[in-house]
Structures are given as C-alpha cells and as structure tokens.
Structure 1
Amino acid sequence: MNEMKKHRTIVVIPYNPEWPSQFEAEAAALRPFFGDNLIALHHIGSTSVPRLAAKPTLDLLGVVKSLALVTETRSNFEALEYKSRGAFGIEGREFFVKGSPNPTHHLHVFEEGSAEILRHLAFRDYLRAHSKAAQEYAALKTKLAALYKLDPLRYQEGKSDWIKRVERQALEWAAHGNYTSK
C-alpha cells in the first residue's frame, strides 16, 4: 500500500458553499503553469455538485493541447505543492495530488479529445441535474466513509458499481445534448 493511502482518513462532510470560489482561486493559481497549452479548467467531482456531501478535496480537470508538454513540465507544478502521480490508472491522464496524507486538491489533466473529459463532465452535470441521484450518492459515500474511514481502497471499491452505473446513464443523457461542459 502506498504512503498516500496508508495514513489517509476518509471523511465525508456536508456541501460547503465556498467550494466553487476555492476552485476559482486554485484555477487562477494554476493557469500560469499551463501557459498557452491550457484550453480549459473545470471543477469536477463531488465538490462541484451543489448540496452534495463530499470529501473536502477539490477536483480540477485540465484540458490541454499537449499532454506530453504537461508530462515534460511536471516539476513546475511542485511550486504549488502538487505531486505527480503519472497516469495513476487512467491511460492518457496526468494526475497530480496536493496535500498529504489527506489531499486538498486533485488535478486530472487530459489532452483535448480524450473520452475521459466527457465522462467526467457528464457525470458531474448529471448529478447537478438529478437531485435524486446526487442524494443516493451522498448517502452511499457517507455510509462507506463510516465503514471504511481508514481504508481508502475499500471506500473506492464500495462506490465503484454505483459510479459505473450512473456514468452510463450520464453518458446516454449527455449524448442527447444535456451536459454543459462548463
């Protein structure tokens, strides 16, 4: 088990209305490190869904012209205390974590055209538009956090089937023009 997960504590808290402004501040700090390579920075994950309980970790999705350029300049992000984790299980991604052992930020970077971008944005927008699904997700995460407070892997595994099912629904929903990409 790696050190990041070994001492991490899973805590799910009620939605914090300051998360969007915290995203904006972090995005503003990150933009210069991407330079002209950056196309967009999106707020994703549970902290991007109003009224959704979440781990207090902001997820940012960067869309870039060249992922290779991000890989070459990984060390630049260390100035903002981001640590590179490489692809971290998702091909075509550069993943960075800020904060340890309990991360405060995750930065997921994909090259323009990656199917992963739509997957993340459609899931976020689906939860924003479907309060029942968001409530189910919050209840599941709260239950799993109580069961697996010191076991991040089991917490993630416990969410996996639910997320896969809702991602399929979200992608179908997005195929009908329902996601915003903002």
Structure 2
Amino acid sequence: MRYVSVWTALLLASAATAPTPPARAESPPPAPPRAAPPAAAVGRTWPVGVRPAVLRGWEPPATVYGPGHRGVDLAAPAGSPVRAVAPGRVLFAGRVAGRGVVSVALTGTDLRTTYEPVRPSVAKGDEVAAGGAVGVVEPGGSHCGPATCVHWGLLRDGTYLDPLSLLPPWLLARGPSRLLPVYGGRDA
C-alpha cells in the first residue's frame, strides 16, 4: 500500500474528476514558459518564530471605537527578531505612545501590517522581503505581561482585519502532515 499526503490525494481526486476538454483540429503553438514569480513576491511567513503561540486572538470591535482586539498577540521573547510577513515598503518605524512600532505597506495590495513593541532596524521607505527583519522585540512595553509578545495588526483603508488571514493554511496547521492510503494499481 502506498501513502500520499492529504493535499496530493485532493489534487489526484480533482484531476480524476476534471472534464476532458474537446479535441481541436489544430492546436495553437505552445505558450512560452513562464518564469516562476520570485519567492519574496508570493511568500508569507510568521512575524516571530516558526509557529508562535497566539496569546490573544483577533476580536473585531462592533463599532469603530468599540472594545475589541485589533490584531493578534504572538508569544516572543525580548530581543527575538521580528520579520515582515510579506514583501512591502516600510511606512513608519518609530515610537508611538512610548512603544516601538513598525508599519509595512504590502506590495501589490492595499494592506498594511503593524508590529509592536519593536525596536526597529528599518527606516521609512525601506523595501523589505517576506521574512526580512524589521526589528527586535522590545523588553518593556508589552501588554501581555509578564510574558513578552508582539502585537501584529492588519489594516485595509483604516479597517482592521484578522492578520492570520495573510498566512496560508499550511502555516496555520497544527501537528504533522498526515498520509492517506492510495488504492489501485499493483500495490492494492
């Protein structure tokens, strides 16, 4: 019996059920091969760690000024690197209300991410790649006390969104990949 991942099984199942296109009398010449987009243009990554603990999730407010949590708090020890989740341009790197803050406009979108409390290692106007360092977690000023954390936010036109929505599902998954049996063929 052979084993394949869940994703491979889904791809095989969808390919098996896909309709066959009608045959053409003449086939057009093949398109030239397309270069793969650079990894930085499509990449997404956690801003801290590999899969940090989410100490507090996103809780959208009912009204613009209502109570809620306009981002997620990710466990991160003081001094650990904070990385850009996606490629973009630094809009702000400085202090706000006594805390270090970095804000990045994501390339090709109307989205921006924010990270705090961060001691910035970038300046306004800098280009950052997905996974590129934007600073380190500051030792004080965290609202997760006594633990330190990074508050990660996501905005579109002044509206807060769930920042976890930027990450692909496989980065959010907990636990190891599962293998599924494939039936058929000589191993069946």
TM tier, smaller: under 0.3
Greater strand percent: which structure? Answer: 2
TM (norm. structure 1) is: 0.27
TM (norm. structure 2) is: 0.27
Greater helix percent: which structure? Answer: 1
